[in-house]
Amino acid sequence: MSKEAVLLDGSAKSKEIQEEISIEVENLRKKAGVIPKLAIIFVGNDPASESYIKLQQKICSKVGIESEVVDLPEEISQNELLAELDKLNNDDEVNGILIQMPLPDHIENDKVIRSINPAKDVDAFHPYNIGELVIDGDAYVPCTPEGVMELFKRYDIKLRGKDVTVVGHSNIVGKPMALLLLNENATVSVCHIDTEDTASYTKESDIVIVAAGVPNLITVDMIKEGAIVIDVGINEVDGEIVGDVDFENVKEKAGAITPVPGGAGPMTIAMLLKDTLKSCKEMLNN
């Protein structure tokens, strides 16, 4: 019988990072007279996106980062959207650009993503940044997997030689997560919707990272005793936010586990701030 898992407290670690960032932002303002700025392009009026953007803005202002939401109507044409993006790409006061997904169906995601200035692409949508990730270069990394890596670092969880399963292979979470782990010399398996027996991978793993968007996908029988379990999933069930892991039962067997909410989510926002600050510093040096 294992003792109860260590709770990997993303909210607490995120606050710690926010404090570090606010000190750096203040120093930058005093020394260089510059305030980092994040611009968020928001097309349409999806309520979940709207409340997430409000939260991002609130945390930006807490650490002294300026934020601007470019609110665009649902029916905006692709060319008009690209023109708005271009303005931000060329605005010297904007350091980070985030495009709130999903975009409406008539807009080609790929075209928009390829039009972000890679130097301001703080959530690493652009193929340039993803390519740098493949070769372990120094570029932006998608904020959610970057946040998971930061959580490992802050809890001193070693990755070299560990068997890790990532469940989910999206471009923004699963795939970059797997690449970041490979760059640290973990042995990585990636499961997805067409994997025949996901449990056969997770059961053997020292670390399991789940980003599928399926409540209760990972049950206690799928986890090795003492494993580290990172739940990236965000699902609404009966008005409550839950992850992809059966938290109550898995926490009795795991060695460490993230809660939902309060795990990967707050780390994502912290990384967005960190990358906006990084962009600002790099723009000053160029």
- What is the contact surface with ligand NAD in residues (CB under 6 A)? 144, 167-170, 172-174, 191-193, 195, 198, 211-214, 217, 232-235, 264-265, 268
In the complex with ligand NAD, the residue whose CB is nearer, 159 or 217, is 217
Q: Distance between CA atoms of 108 and 147, rounded to whole angstroms?
A: 28
Q: Considering only CA atoms, which of 154, 123, 118 is closest in space to residue 56?
A: 123
In the numeric block, which tokens belong to residue 140? 């932006």
Residues 25 and 34 sit within 8 Å (Cβ to Cβ): no
CB closer to ligand NAD out of 36 and 243: 243
For the bound state, the minimum distance from the C-beta of residue 241 to ligand NAD, rounded and expressed in Å, comes to 10
Pick 15 or 281: Cβ nearer ligand NAD: 15
Smallest gap from Cβ 233 to ligand NAD, in A, equals 4
Question: What whole-number distance in Å separates Cα of residue 139 and Cα of residue 119?
Answer: 8
* Cα distance from N-terminal residue to C-terminal residue, the chain: 56
Q: Give the nearest distance from C-beta 216 to ligand NAD in angstroms.
A: 10
Residue closer to ligand NAD (CB basis): 28 or 148: 148
Ramachandran class of 238: left when φ > 0, alpha when ψ lies in -120 to 50, beta otherwise: left
Least distance CB 258 / ligand NAD (angstroms): 9
Smallest separation (angstroms) from ligand NAD to the CB of 71: 22
Q: Locate tokens 């909410």: which residue? A: 261
Which strand (E) or helix (H) includes residue 179?
Answer: helix 174-183
Q: Least CB distance from residue 155 to ligand NAD, whole Å?
A: 17
Cα–Cα distance, 68 to 91 (Å, whole number):
12
3-state secondary structure of 178: helix
Angstrom distance (rounded) from CA 106 to CA 239: 31
Judged by CB, which is closer to ligand NAD: 187, or 235? Answer: 235
For 159, phi then psi, to 5°, come to -115, -25
Least distance from ligand NAD to the Cβ atom of residue 154, Å: 16
CB 81 within 8 A of CB 124: no
Nearer to ligand NAD, 5 or 211 (CB): 211
- In the complex with ligand NAD, which residue's Cβ is closer, 70 or 212? 212
For residues 30 and 16, give the distance between their C-alpha atoms in angstroms, rounded to a whole number.
22
How is residue 27 written in tokens?
């120093």
Cβ proximity to ligand NAD, 64 vs 263, nearer residue: 263
Q: Smallest distance, Å, CB 260 to ligand NAD?
A: 8
